Amino acid sequence: MNRKHFLSALVTTGIGLPALQTLAAIGLPTDSHEKEPLVPPYLKPGDIIGITCPAGYIKRDEIQAAIRIMESWGFNIRIGKTVGARDYSFGGTDTERLQDLQTMLNDNDIKAIMCGRGGYGTARIVDKLDFKKFQQKPKWVIGFSDATVLHCHISRHFGIASLHSKMCNSFPDDFSKAEPVVQDTIMSIYQALTGKKMQYSAAPDNKNRKGNARGVLTGGNLSIIQSLSATDSEIDTNGKILFLEEVGEYPYSLDRMLGTLARSHKLDNLAGLIIGGFNRIKPDDPGEEFGKTVYDMVLEKVKDFSYPVCFNFPVGHQKNNYALKCGMMHSLSVSDDKVTLKE
């Protein structure tokens, strides 16, 4: 029986709040996903966006386009000490990256924090971050790929919304000459940060599974999400709309990561599943063909469940990577002729 229906049946048969509290005490989840999200204040002209590098390094000249565009939106920019810093592939040492992000989490003047780029490194510092001041005065944390660590950690512990979107290294040098889809995705960051209700559509796919869902939106990069299993940043998918994206992996590796989510019951009680871009999949070695597509892998893992599933949603390591508000209630509609995700 579906967990939600089971809990409803308990209430209907006269087993009320004390019994539900007992169930929670013994580890059976309750409907916590229905709680109102904690939304950081939306930005207004003059607000400060901080730029930091908790993962890979980025040069100062590589963030200039992002600075120009965000300043044209009316925001002020504060550049962190890790921008331009480098320790091999990282944006500075672990200590430097920790201190820079901590400073921005603590600074009440900073209303949003944008990661300079992805790469790898946030998992090395997340357990040492102190979120007390961030909890007291939440702010938008912005990024994708490796920033999935922050989205999952913040959602799990604090229930505070964050923004899964492009980062500084994805802003075009000349916005006026950028492709329309690039302009649209960059502007979706501005729209999300200033409080616009977000709504996106995706083309139908004959592999989609139809249905309607409502739940808190969560997700991000598949390899990051599966690497967080059994850690203090483990994703909570219970009753939620989960979105996944990935890039540059072998087919067998994708199947292994999806299998980890299935075996750890992260796919059991979703409200809905969104598959974004799974791009630049590496070719199998000759004679070692895996023989399954992404469609095959996903549908195999969710065959025992009835929630809606859509493929090729515009999120991921690609041009059409739109801003998504993690931790906020959304509705998902998957029909024969359209897919709609609406805040």
Own/partner pairs, 233-236, CB within 8 angstroms, 24+ separation: 233/123, 233/126, 233/149, 233/152, 233/153, 233/156, 234/152, 234/156, 235/152, 235/155, 235/156, 235/266, 236/33, 236/155, 236/156
**Catalytic site residue from 96, 245, 246, 249:** 245
- For tokens 């967990």, name the residue: 3
Supply φ then ψ for residue 105, to 5 degrees. Answer: -65, -35
Out of 33, 96, 145, 165, the active site residue is 145
Q: Of 140, 147, 84, nearest to 118 (Cα)?
A: 147
- State the Cα–Cα distance between residues 62 and 67, nearest whole angstrom: 10
**Residue 317 falls in the annotated catalytic set:** yes
| Residue from 33, 151, 164, 317 carrying the catalytic annotation | 317
Distance (Å, whole) CA 139 – CA 133 = 10
CA distance 63 to 45: 20
| Euclidean distance between CA atoms 45 and 75, whole angstroms | 5
Residue 249 is given by DSSP the state -
| 21-34 CB burial, b ≥16 within 10 A, e <16 | eebeeeeeebeebe
CA 319 – CA 257 distance, rounded (Å):
24
| Contact predicate 154/141, CB 8 Å | yes
Q: Hey, which residues are catalytic here? A: 145, 245, 317
